[in-house]
Amino acid sequence: MTFKRLSTALVALAASSALYAADYPTRNINYVVPFAAGGAVDFTGRLIADAAPEFFDGKKFIVKNMPGGGAVIGQTYVSAAPADGYTLLATTSSIINNAMTKQVEYNLDSFTPLALFNLDPEVIVTSGKSDVKTLDDFLQAAKSGNVSIATPGNATSHHIAALSLAQKEDLSFRYVHNASAAMQLQQIMGNHVQAGFMSLGEAIGLVSDGNLHILAVLDSSRSQLAPNIPTFEEQTGRSMQWGTFRGIAAPAGLPDEVAESLEKRLGELLTSPKFIARMKDSGYQVNYRDADAFEAYLNNTAEQMKQVLPLLDTSS
């Protein structure tokens, strides 16, 4: 009798461990942000973590900041973490250019893309007080090499955007690299440099007060956030697209059930009205793409980067 009970218990135990993967999630999930606390990636990560328990059976997302090495530290950590669905990476374009420009132990294939939730098109801005009023003025001046450009840092996505435009349009910029987006803004608004490249989300709030002026949006169509601002293509007839993105990935080699479960739950979270409303309040649009679409987007961006990266001279 006792034996029978014990064996039933054992069978039940065996059954439950076989179901382990399907039972995902059974514990809290680490959400690794490869940047210091306080930035946009950290901030949106905390918005996601705040909404997570509702979609992950009450389990929490624990935001772990792992800054260092231009996001390499956090990205390496996740690429080497167990592929069990309990470690996720806040994914940005740095995952692509780090793998291309630095001697890291991972590449795009080391990760399973799960969802993309935010696309922010690049804009060219000048100070509200600047003499450069139009994109035409800007391009003319830049041809003769008299335009200084503030960037939030060497080899950032915004620096690469400027390099890419310079290559396409045969321009030469003087680069003024900063340590943060705040310092970049200070130099543009103080009219110490002629122009700057940043994402629309960062610039839009400063336009209405007249402190910043957006010359062009580098996207295929106008943004809903700024329907009055024309694209580069509209003004010149030539296509120029650039932007930053924010997504979520896991280590490569996730069990299929876990990957499916994660993709479904994240999709529900990221498209829930409550999450979208909170993102909107904080100045971010939600542009959800599922795992396959995100993967395609990543590969496409990687192609685009490959063409520009030789311009990044890090040898001097």
**Which residues contact other proteins (rule: CB under 8 A)?**
36-39, 42-43, 46-47, 49-50, 64-70, 72-73, 76, 102-104, 148, 153-155, 174-180, 182-183, 185-187, 189-193, 205-206, 208-209, 211, 278, 281-283, 312-316
Least Cβ distance, residue 130 to other proteins (angstroms)? 13
87-91 and 243-251 strand pairing? antiparallel
Least Cβ distance, residue 288 to other proteins (angstroms)? 20
Minimal CA–CA distance to 187: which of 172, 174, 171, 200? 174
| Phi, psi for 107 (deg, rounded to 5) | -145, -170
Least Cβ distance, residue 297 to other proteins (angstroms)? 26
Least Cβ distance, residue 298 to other proteins (angstroms)? 21
SS3 label, residue 135? helix
- Nearer Cβ to other proteins, position 206 or 258? 206
SS3 label, residue 301? helix
H-assigned helices in 157-226: 157-169, 181-189, 200-207
- Nearer Cβ to other proteins, position 42 or 257? 42
Least Cβ distance, residue 305 to other proteins (angstroms)? 15
- Nearer Cβ to other proteins, position 184 or 231? 184
Q: What is the C-alpha to C-alpha distance for residues 212 and 54, in angstroms, rounded to an integer?
A: 40
**What is the length of the chain?**
316
- Nearer Cβ to other proteins, position 68 or 255? 68
- Nearer Cβ to other proteins, position 90 or 240? 90
With contact defined as beta carbons under 8 Å apart, do 118 and 276 qualify? Answer: no
* Buried residues in 186-198 as b, exposed as e (16+ CB within 10 A): ebbbeeebbbbbb
